[in-house]
Structure 1
Amino acid sequence: MSFQPVLPLSGYTGWRFLQRTLDSQQEAFSNSGPVKTAAEYFRENISKAATAEDLVADRRLLGVALGAFGLDEDIDAKAFIKKVLAEGTLEKDALASKLSDKRYARLAEAFGYGNAGPRVWMEGFADEIIDKYQAKQFQVAVGEQNESLRLALNVTAGLEEIGAAEKTDNAAWFGMMGNGPLRAVFEGALGFPKSFGKIDLDQQLDQFRSRAQSTFGTSDMAEIAGDPQLQEKLVRLYLIRSEASAMTSLSGANAALTLLSNLR
């Protein structure tokens, strides 16, 4: 049985508790049965996956590979994942290059099959993927109890990935907009409604940058990504507003039940 994260509180108070206990909780989670077994199997067998076809043919290896990038749900989409891996990211018409979800590009780059060649034999490769896998799976476990805290846990890594992949500020903002979990945090923290994603992309960019400037004192994504205090403010606003929204919804539901009871 896997170690279940201890989350006695929700909202920003819960986040502060999780931050204080994060190292010990992650270590306990990584050493729990299924996670530890998956990591050991990957470390011992990944060097056998010389091709993309080899990797997708081994469900246990593929589970760790996909889990490291938050793509667990694609475990049965073998033909799709094989194409992503085999084509790499060097060509503009490669599948991973065309997908708006950049997790696939990061997966393809990490394994290298369609780029400079497989990285599975490189020193430290297995540990690199296992570290990502354990961190992502811990986030999943947190999300099973509290989705808002899972999204908050993704912020630092998500911003680092965008910073490493995008060369211009506009590209970085679009990268955030294409990253579902990270976008949810930005939207919530900056007070955008759920319908916000339906407007024109360029208008979304303008609105994101405008509110970031007024909220954080900067609209430079690199500055936000590189400042721990700004990241903490981003998370704090997101969690406070998420909890307030949840309480409002709950109050509305309770009011509706009261009205229905009175009608009986």
Structure 2
Amino acid sequence: MFSTASRYQILAANPIRTRSTIENDVVVKRETAFYNANIKNVKTIDQFVNDYRLFNYAMKAHGLSDMAYGKAFVKKLLEEGVDNPKSMANKMTNPLYKEFVKAFDFAGKGALATSEASATTETVSKYVQQTLEHKEGEQNEGVQLALYFKRKASAITTHMGLLGDKAVLKFVQTVFNIPAEASKADLDAQVRNLRKHIKIEDLQDPAKVEKLIQRFSAMWDMNNPTQATMNPILNLFGDSTESGFSIDLMMSISKLPRGGY
């Protein structure tokens, strides 16, 4: 089993081949073919939420598989849209709901909603990425979180945005060794704490995002040791670079300032 850093580097080094492997998966090809052939024929919200395969494909693509059973809830979100600041989607703390409603903008575009790129090619691309992340997560949750953070980082513009996404928050808590219990504090206290550790503008810098991922990978493996991550420790005089988690890296991580990279 690869360390988190090694597996992430393998996937990131050749993203085209990585995505191609997922796209050519038998199930992914079948479901994507069905989605492409039928989504533009959907003209109403009722049609959409009542078509099991299309609806579940779309929900998975947008990271909402766990809520696919809540058709009445999602229907109301879609009916209200996102133009009204008081709509349900705009009030949800989880930004994934708003992203979903914007992608399938029945409230704003009516019958044309499913012909937009956001509902067709972009949703298919997200489905492939979600499938990749889920597959990696079955082997190593750390890799899944690293891939997810890389995908979401640039869209986060406030510290409250970090709190609104549980996966992103878990990533940040791991990076800076913030205990999960900190989430029990009131929101203002949580925001103040996050401001001590991370600058939101840094999430717009790909180089700094990669440094965060590198630190996360090391911290994750130290907190969740496996044979792959323990080998460099057990074999101090051997080749510790094969797993992608070197002794030098471990030592440097331990010396990193908590508020920087």
Q: TM-score range, shorter-chain basis?
A: 0.7 to 0.9
2:44 to 44, 51, 63: 51
The separation in 2 between residues aligned to 1:125 and 1:205, in whole angstroms, is 34
Distance 1:20 1:83 in 2: 41
Question: Within 5 A, what are the aligned runs for 1:209-224?
Answer: 209-212=195-198, 219=199, 221=200, 223-224=201-202
**What is the aligned counterpart of 2:89 among 96, 103, 107?**
96
Aligned match of 1:232 in 201, 207, 210? 210
C-alpha contact 1:64 1:133 (8 A) present in aligned 2: yes
Partner SS, residue 238 of structure 1: helix
User: Which residue type is aligned with residue 141 of structure 2?
Assistant: E
SS of corresponding position for 1:46 = helix
Match of 1:195 in 2: 181
Q: Please, which of 148, 158, 164 is the counterpart of residue 154 of structure 1?
A: 148
Are the aligned partners of 1:143 and 1:149 in contact in 2 as well (CA < 8 Å)? yes
Q: Is the 8 A contact 2:104 2:118 kept in 1?
A: no
Contact residue 55 and residue 62 of structure 1 kept, 8 A? yes
Alignment partners' CA distance in 1, 2:224 and 2:32:
37
Does 1:62 find its partner at 2:55?
A: yes
Q: Once the two structures are superposed, what CA deviation does each residue of 1:233-258 show, in whole Å capped at 9, x if it has no partner?
A: 1111112111111239x99xxxxxxx
Pairwise CA distance, 1:136: 1.0
2:131 aligned residue? 137
Q: CA deviation at 1:14?
A: 2.5
Q: How many residues align?
A: 227
Provide Cα deviations, 1:14-40, integer angstroms capped at 9, x if missing partner: 322222244312211111111111111
Q: TM-score, normalised by structure 1?
A: 0.80
2:160 corresponding residue in structure 1: 174
Describe the shift of the 1:34–1:75 C-alpha distance in structure 2 as closer, same or farther (beyond 3 A).
Answer: same
- Decide which of 221, 225, 235 is 1:243's aligned counterpart: 221
Q: Tell me the SS of whatever aligns to 1:106.
A: helix
Cα distance change on mapping 1:180 and 1:60 into 2, 3 Å: same
Q: Which residue of 2 aligns with 1:111?
A: 104
Q: Answer 1 or 2: higher relative contact order, Cα 8 Å, separation at least 6.
A: 2
1:123, CA displacement in angstroms? Answer: 5.6
Sequence identity of aligned pairs in percent?
Answer: 26
Distance 1:68 1:14 in 2: 23
Secondary structure class of the residue paired with 1:119 = helix
Other-structure match for 1:73 = 66
Q: Give the conservation status (yes or no) of the 8 Å contact 1:87–1:113.
A: no
Question: Contact 1:156–1:225 (CA<8 Å) still a contact in 2?
Answer: no
With over 3 angstroms needed to count, the CA separation of the structure-2 counterparts of 1:148 and 1:124, relative to structure 1, is closer
- Give the secondary-structure state (helix, strand or coil) at the position aligned to 2:115: coil
Judge conservation of contact 2:142–2:217 (CA < 8 Å) in 1. Answer: yes
Which structure 2 segments of 5+ residues have no match? 231-261
Q: Give the deviation of 1:53 after TM superposition.
A: 0.9
Give the CA RMSD over aligned residues. Answer: 2.0
Alpha-carbon offset, residue 198 of structure 1? 1.0
- Residue type of the alignment partner of 2:192: D
Partner amino acid for 2:8? W
What whole-Å deviation, never above 9, does each CA across 1:195-240 have from its counterpart, x for those lacking one? 111112111111111122xxxxxx2x1x312212211111111121
